[in-house]
């Protein structure tokens, strides 16, 4: 059985991604764009109180992070 995906807010996810080397580039409304040196594509994180499972899974996929990596970064 795989571990459950954590419930996380946009602000908390951005802090975790920052630990992994992602930097905030800009914000438009409730969406924040992050870039990482050496990466071609940017991530877009919504500043919602709770990010939906599918959205979080897509962000983790684009950032090349597993759920275990996210759990480690959220500590």
pLDDT in tens, 29-63: 999 999 999 999 999 999 999 999 999 999 999 99
Instruction: Note the pLDDT of residue 2.
Output: 56
Distance of CA 75 to the CA centre of its chain: 14
Q: Which residue has the tokens 């580039």?
A: 25
pLDDT > 90: percent of the chain:
89
Which residues, in sequence order, are CB contacts of 42 under 8 Å at separation 6+? 25, 33, 34, 35
Are 7 and 64 in contact by the 8 Å Cβ rule? The answer is no
**For the chain, which domains are there?**
10-74 (3.30.920.30)
């Amino acid at each position: 059985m795989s571990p459950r995906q954590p419930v996380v807010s946009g602000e908390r996810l951005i802090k975790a991604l920052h630990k992994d080397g992602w930097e905030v580039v800009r914000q438009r409304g409730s969406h924040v764009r992050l870039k990482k040196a050496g990466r071609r594509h940017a991530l877009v994180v919504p500043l919602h109180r709770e990010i939906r499972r599918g959205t979080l899974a897509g962000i983790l996929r684009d950032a090349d992070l597993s759920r275990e990596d996210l759990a480690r970064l959220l500590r």
